[in-house]
């Protein structure tokens, strides 16, 4: 199977299946000398760990990470960092009834069409459990970005019809870590949880939007054609299962704005540099970072695994009805917040390393020191 690796210099490869013995990731291209321990990685894995609230699947996994290589005496060595996360709470029997048919809204049919074979236990390689490897790799990238003064904040902006935009004073960054939905508004989080419970009582599910802000990114990252920073972010975020939309800055709203409204005027920053009066562009102009905060959003569809009966077909094309069993998330964004943050970190870490070779004066000055 191709397509399990992402990045150019700072590169991650994830491996494993939902109901296999383990899942994990290998990070290559990470600079040597970064302080890194299993505790650093475990912090982020705990944020996406199942079984932590009513907004998550009841599957109980500790998601304990083991670093197998690439770290010595608490620092990265510059060699591949291999990380292992064992699966310990699989209920494969819950999926016996879907072995011969396709779940609506899932990749069962398309996976079978491509490979002629699929692991039906929890979706196999297509499962959201694969994202644990992304988070482990993202944790390494976040450590590198911290060394460079770059900070990433991600949170649930909306769930179903409930949005933090409903309250003009709705953003409280400190609140993000105080509720299981990772919403920066206490009242919105309570309304969103009530909506999730309503969907659960109806044997249904909900979707939502995650917003991400990246501060401290210098101007000049990204390339102007196929390697646009915005394109790299779009690929990274759209590769997360259930993501159906991506926008940066004003996004789709820019289509109804006038040029005079959407353009960001430049101005002196008072320190001898350049800044912008507004940030409708979301921190990227012409595919290259402009020094402003990078702001983007990802739309997640409702969870496909719902417990009400659904029409489907068997592998040989006969009509059937299916009731999905097993343990599933009622909504995706709360556990995906850290996945979005991790993928953004992987993109920016890679862009920083790629950007080091874009100008001869920087290469010359570095090697003449």
- d(CA 246, CA 234) in angstroms, rounded, equals 6
Query: Count of domains in the chain?
Result: 1
pLDDT at 76: 98
pLDDT at 1: 66
Task: Confirm if 24 and 15 have CB atoms less than 8 A apart.
Answer: yes
User: Tokens 């990078």 correspond to what residue?
Assistant: 294
pLDDT at 325: 72
Task: Confirm if 54 and 80 have CB atoms less than 8 A apart.
Answer: no
Residue 336's nearest CA partner among 154, 173, 205 is 154
pLDDT at 126: 80
The alpha carbon torsion through 330, 332, 336, 340 (nearest 10 deg) reads: -170
Task: Confirm if 190 and 226 have CB atoms less than 8 A apart.
Answer: no
Low-confidence ranges of the chain (pLDDT < 50): none
pLDDT at 84: 97
pLDDT at 106: 85
pLDDT at 107: 85
Task: Confirm if 28 and 11 have CB atoms less than 8 A apart.
Answer: yes
pLDDT at 294: 98
> Which residues are CB-neighbours of 134 under 8 A, at least 6 positions away?
12, 14, 25, 240, 339, 342, 343, 346
pLDDT at 53: 55
Task: Confirm if 311 and 187 have CB atoms less than 8 A apart.
Answer: no
- d(CA 127, CA 122) in angstroms, rounded, equals 6
pLDDT at 58: 52
pLDDT at 90: 56
pLDDT at 50: 65
User: Which two structure tokens, joined as six digits, stand for 81?
Assistant: 């960092």
Q: Is 357 helix (H, G, I), strand (E, B) or coil?
A: coil
pLDDT at 277: 96
- d(CA 201, CA 196) in angstroms, rounded, equals 9
Q: What is the pLDDT of residues 56-84, one digit of tens each?
A: 555 556 889 999 999 999 999 999 999 99
- For residue 160, what is the enclosing H or E element? none
Q: Domain residues for 48?
A: 5-368
């Amino acid at each position: 199977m191709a397509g399990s690796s992402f990045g150019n210099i700072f590169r991650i490869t994830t491996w494993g299946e939902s109901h296999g013995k383990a899942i994990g990731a290998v990070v290559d291209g990470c600079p040597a000398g970064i302080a890194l321990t299993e505790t650093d990685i475990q912090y982020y894995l705990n944020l996406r760990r199942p079984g932590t609230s009513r907004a998550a699947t009841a599957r109980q996994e500790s998601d304990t990470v083991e670093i197998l290589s690439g770290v010595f005496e608490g620092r990265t060595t510059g060699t591949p960092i291999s990380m292992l996360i064992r699966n310990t709470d699989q209920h494969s029997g819950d999926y016996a009834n879907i072995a011969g048919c396709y779940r609506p809204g899932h990749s069962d049919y398309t996976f079978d069409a491509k490979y002629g074979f699929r692991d039906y236990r929890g979706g196999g390689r297509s499962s959201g459990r694969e994202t644990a490897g992304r988070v482990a790799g993202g944790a390494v990238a976040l450590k590198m970005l911290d060394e460079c003064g770059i900070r990433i904040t991600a949170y649930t902006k909306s769930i179903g019809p409930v949005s933090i935009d409903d309250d003009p004073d709705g953003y409280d960054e400190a609140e993000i870590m105080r509720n299981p939905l990772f919403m920066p508004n206490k009242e919105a989080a309570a309304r969103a949880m009530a909506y999730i419970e309503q969907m659960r009582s109806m044997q249904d599910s909900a979707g939502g939007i995650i917003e991400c802000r990246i501060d401290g990114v210098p101007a000049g990252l990204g390339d102007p054609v196929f390697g646009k920073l915005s394109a790299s972010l779009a690929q990274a975020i759209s590769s997360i299962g259930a993501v159906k939309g991506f926008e940066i800055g004003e996004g789709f709203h820019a289509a109804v704005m006038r040029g005079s409204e959407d353009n960001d005027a430049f101005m002196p920053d008072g320190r001898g540099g350049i800044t912008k009066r507004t940030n409708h562009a979301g921190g990227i102009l012409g595919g290259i970072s402009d020094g402003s905060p990078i702001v983007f959003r990802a739309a997640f569809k409702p969870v496909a695994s719902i417990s009400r009966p659904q029409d489907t077909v068997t592998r040989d094309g006969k009509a059937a009805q299916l009731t999905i069993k097993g343990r599933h998330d009622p909504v995706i964004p709360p556990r995906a917040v850290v996945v979005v943050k991790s993928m953004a970190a992987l993109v920016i870490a890679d862009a920083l390393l790629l950007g080091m070779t874009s100008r001869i004066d920087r290469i010359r000055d570095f090697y003449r020191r």
